[in-house]
Every structure is written in structure tokens, then in C-alpha cells.
Amino acid sequence: ELGEGPDAGLPKEAVEALRLGPADVSDSYLLAKTFYDIGEYQRAASALDGGVAGTANALAGLSCEEVFIKAYSLFLAGEKIKEQEILEINDPLERSSVENPNIRKLSKDLTELYHAARLDGFGLYMYAVVLRELAGSSGVLNVHRLSPFSVLCEAVVAFPWNWSAWLDLATIVVQEQRDIPEDMPLPKSAQWIHHFFVVHCFIELGSQHHCETALELLHDLEATFPQSNYLLGQLGLANYNLRKFQAAEENFEELRHRDPYRLDNMDTYSNILYVKESKAALSHLAHVAMKNDKYRPETCCIVGNYYSLKSQHERAVLYFQRALKLNRKFLAAWTLMGHEFVEMKNTGAAIEAYRRGVDVNPRDYRAWYGLGQTYEILTMFHYALFYYRKAVKLRPTDARMWCALGNCYKLLERYEEAIACFERAARHHDQEGIALIELARLYQDRHRREHAAESYRAFLSSRDGDFDKAPGDAGVAEALEFLVEFHRANGELALAAKYCSRMLECGGAKEEWAKEQLKLLQGEHAAAAL
């Protein structure tokens, strides 16, 4: 059943739960809410001082709405102090030990209210936020053995329409590799938000299986929410994770058409334009984003990608640094800045950027992969191996990760492990064809010529149709040359001649060699016929 008037379209349960409560809302609450709205968090908390006299609990005696406003204001005021202290500290170890000065007192007060069953859906959400912050603070133990996960589950059941609570729950599911909670006792009118949550979890998990499942769920949800820009953005992200760049580009173009001033997800769209080297489209996107809001991290990343595509790496780094000044936990900026430092051959700065990205999200395979690449450049192959293994664990169906790991094993002269990695890459649809050509070379070096021939043939099959587009392709020429010699040595002159003819079609540096071989083969064939 839906609300009426300005609340039309919302479930009545949500409308009722969002009301301020009793008609005689206190003046203190209204004053605190006003201070909160303008970002005066300490004043907002102070406006609700003087709960129950004689109690140490600063939240005692307040209504549920007042508890949330005061607790959240104290939390944000503490975060502001924490950020200011971090900016003044240069040592990374000291920075990581700075904690919110209000967090312990908040934890104590909210724990008392929790055990007294005096927290509503928003109070439970606030309690979970505090517990998560405590879990990330060094030397702080949760003596009550309450997990943020369990409290968030209670929060979304108590008030299912708080999307922030669902997002925090998804973060825990992804980072702690928990099972996605199912069969939650939600009202019928809120089942849809659980489906949105599941899709978000699958996309954040990022594996091929998860993203394909997310696409199926998204297509089902689109039938119910055909005009949802959020779902369209999630479609774009799922296709991007699956490296379906054309489909993802179409999703984001449609999203921009529907919502021209949107910046959410546009940094991902700029990544697609960067990969496709669409300079004009990326330039236009950067111009529109700067005109819209130049002080958004997404805008800075878009502009950074634009300068990177123009090979202006110093300016690209400048914009990624701006993004991080606006939001130091903006993961994409750390990873992209690491890529730029690699291009600038500043490996020390690249390693620091990638490490900071991993600190923000330990499940970001791009940062682990970047660390592997950087240590490989430094010829520190055992370190590179460690980081590539991390990336492979997060993206077990990504051929690029297996190719990088295989190449590292090859550099360490661990050839059997390298072969196993390249075989895995080939099974996972290596689009670049790196795995098959490397496999063939390894087999050839190990005198396993039958296996080498099989890999070269598979490589050529994967490149069918590309010969005319890429004349002189070194991999194609190498494969054809080997197969000509292999079949000639086996007395299979017709097959050897066939590959010679294909080499002539390709052209390139080996064209004259192919002509000579074809003449020799024709002579041998004629001699054999006598």
C-alpha cells in the first residue's frame, strides 16, 4: 500500500517510519537538526545535551530520533578532528593509528542502549558504524563480542529503506567474504531493496560468475523499474567488470542521455573511453564534468584519464592527487595514479599509490596487479609473484592475471608452473593471444614439439580474420614459420605449403623467406611424386 500526496510511490511503512515521531518534537531536536544540516556537528550534539541527570550516558533520556542525530553528529565531529590530525602527520604508521576521539564513548553509550533495546533502525545503523570504526582502530577490542555485520542485519530489518545500511552491509560481505544474507524477515514492500543489495554485492565481488549473475538479476529488476538510472549504472559496471566494453559504453551513454549532469559512475565510463582510445569522447566528457562540478573526485579522475591518454602523465597525476584531496578513500584515484607513476618510471611512488589503494580495498585486484607489475619492472620477481598471486586469487577467471603470473614464473625459470598458468589463461579466453604464443614457446624450449605445434595452431585459429588487418604480426609470423618447419620435418608437405601460402598472405619481413620455402616445398613434392 502506497502513501499519498508528496509521499506517493513510497510504501506506507516507510512513510510512517520516516516521520519525525510525536507531533510535539522538541525544540532541542529541531535546533540540533538545523546545526547538523549546515555541518556544525559539535553544536548539533551540544544542542541535545542534558539528557538524564546523574547518568554518564550522554544519550540516555533522548528519543530515538535524538539519539541518532546526537550520535551521528558526535561521530562526524570526531571524524573531522581525525582527518585534521592525519593531514598534520607525515609518517604512514602514525597516520594509521589516529582514531576518532569520540568513538570509545559512543561505543559505550550505544552498547548500553542496544542491550536495553532502545535503538530503532537508524540507531542500530549508527551503532554498526561505530563498531566498524572500532574494528579498524588499533588496540581497541569489542569486549561485547558484537559484530557490525549482525547489528547491520538488525538495522536493515528494523528499517529496510536505509540504503546506507545496505551499502555498509555489502562492504562487510565483500571484504570479509561472507555469505550474502538471504531469507531476511523484510516486509513485502521492501523485498526489492534486498534484490538491489544482492546485485551490488555481486558487482563488488567482481568475478565473472558474480557479474554474469548480476546481469541476470538486473534484467529481471528492469522489468519492475524500467526507468531506474541506478540499475542502468549497475548494468554498465557489470559489463565493465566482464570487459564487455561496447555494451558498457552503450549503458553509460544511455545513462548520460537520461541524466546529463550525473557524475556517479562517470569515472568508470572514462576508463572505457581511455581503453578504446576515444580521445574526442573523453575530451567532451571531461569538459562537461568540469563545467558540472570540478570539485568532485569523479571529475578529477575523468580529467586525469584525459591527460593520461594524451601522454601528459604529470598533469594526470596532479588531477588524481586532487581527487584524493577531496576523498582520500577514492580507490580509483590511487590505482590510476599508480599507473601514471609507472609510465613516468617513478616506481617508488607507484608502489606507494598501489599500497594505499590496497589499504582502501584489499579486494581491488587492479592494485595488486599494479604492485606485481612494478616489482617485475624492478626485477624483484619473488615480490612480483606474491602480488600476482593475490590478483589471481581475486580474479581467477581473468586471463590477464594468469598471463602475468605465468610470465613471472618464466622469468624465475620455473617453467612447469609457467606452463600451467598459461594453460589456465588459454582456458579463460585470452583475448590478446598472449597465453597460446607463450605456451608454444615454452613447449618448443622444452622440446615438446607436438604440444608447441598444437598451441601455435590454436593461436592462429584465434587470430583468423586478423591476418589482413595486421600484416607482419610477429606472433603470427612466428607461428607460421614454426608450423612450416614442423610439418616439413614430418613429411607433411601439403600442410607445410598451406602455412607458407598463409604467410605470403600476411606479408611482412618473412615474405621472402616464405617464397623460398614454397619453392623448395614444391620441388620436394615434385621429387616425391616421381
Q: Say what the pLDDT of residue 138 is.
A: 46
Please count the CA atoms within 13 angstroms of the CA of 233 that sit on its side-chain side.
15
Q: Say what the pLDDT of residue 5 is.
A: 46
- The continuous run of DSSP H or E covering 296 comes out as none
Q: What is the mean pLDDT of the chain?
A: 88
The model's confidence at residue 97, banded by pLDDT at 50, 70 and 90, is confident
Is residue 49 predicted with pLDDT exceeding 70? Answer: yes
Q: Do 12 and 187 touch, CB atoms closer than 8 A?
A: no
Q: Do 169 and 149 touch, CB atoms closer than 8 A?
A: yes
Q: Say what the pLDDT of residue 14 is.
A: 64
Averaged pLDDT, 287-294: 96
Concatenating the DSSP letter of every residue in 44-109 gives HHHHT---STT-S-TTTT--HHHHHHHHHHHHHHHHHHHHHHHHT---HHHHHH---TTHHHHHHH
DSSP bridge pairs for 207: none
Is residue 438 predicted with pLDDT exceeding 50? Answer: yes
Q: Say what the pLDDT of residue 1 is.
A: 52
d(CA 263, CA 492) in angstroms, rounded, equals 61
Is residue 471 predicted with pLDDT exceeding 60? Answer: no
The model's confidence at residue 23, banded by pLDDT at 50, 70 and 90, is low
d(CA 270, CA 250) in angstroms, rounded, equals 13
The model's confidence at residue 514, banded by pLDDT at 50, 70 and 90, is confident
Report CA torsion sign: 155, 331, 425, 457: positive
Q: Of 89-98, 230-239, 275-284, give the lowest mean pLDDT range.
A: 89-98
Q: Do 450 and 476 touch, CB atoms closer than 8 A?
A: no
Q: Say what the pLDDT of residue 46 is.
A: 92
Please count the CA atoms within 13 angstroms of the CA of 105 that sit on its side-chain side.
14
Compute the chain's Rg from CA coordinates. 30
The model's confidence at residue 490, banded by pLDDT at 50, 70 and 90, is confident
d(CA 343, CA 496) in angstroms, rounded, equals 43
Is residue 388 predicted with pLDDT exceeding 80? Answer: yes
Q: Say what the pLDDT of residue 183 is.
A: 84
Percentage of residues in the chain with pLDDT exceeding 90?
A: 65
Is residue 329 predicted with pLDDT exceeding 70? Answer: yes
Is residue 15 predicted with pLDDT exceeding 70? Answer: no
Q: Please give the residue that has the higher pLDDT: either 522 or 192.
A: 192
Q: Do 77 and 41 touch, CB atoms closer than 8 A?
A: yes
Averaged pLDDT, 260-280: 95
Q: Please give the residue that has the higher pLDDT: either 105 or 513.
A: 105
Domain ranges of the chain: 463-530
Tens of pLDDT along 163-172?
A: 999 999 999 9
The distance of Cα 35 from the centroid of its chain, to the nearest Å, equals 36
Distances in whole angstroms, Cα of residue 154 to Cα of each of 112, 125, 165: 16, 8, 10
264's CB contacts (< 8 A; 6+ apart) are 233, 298
Is residue 160 predicted with pLDDT exceeding 90? Answer: yes
Q: Say what the pLDDT of residue 141 is.
A: 46
Q: Of 6-20, 401-415, 446-460, give the lowest mean pLDDT range.
A: 6-20
pTM (two decimals): 0.85
Is residue 52 predicted with pLDDT exceeding 50? Answer: no
Percentage of residues in the chain with pLDDT exceeding 70?
A: 88
Q: Please give the residue that has the higher pLDDT: either 20 or 248.
A: 248
Q: Say what the pLDDT of residue 466 is.
A: 54
The cell numbers describing 367, all together, are: 592494485
Q: Say what the pLDDT of residue 396 is.
A: 92
The model's confidence at residue 404, banded by pLDDT at 50, 70 and 90, is very high
Q: Say what the pLDDT of residue 54 is.
A: 45
d(CA 102, CA 275) in angstroms, rounded, equals 45
Among candidate residues 362, 387, 366, the one with its CA nearest the CA of residue 376: 387
Under DSSP, is residue 425 helix (H, G, I), strand (E, B) or coil? Answer: helix
Averaged pLDDT, 17-44: 81
Is residue 12 predicted with pLDDT exceeding 80? Answer: no
If phi over 0 gives left and psi between -120 and 50 gives alpha, with beta otherwise, what is residue 405?
A: alpha
Q: Do 453 and 486 touch, CB atoms closer than 8 A?
A: yes
Is residue 150 predicted with pLDDT exceeding 60? Answer: yes
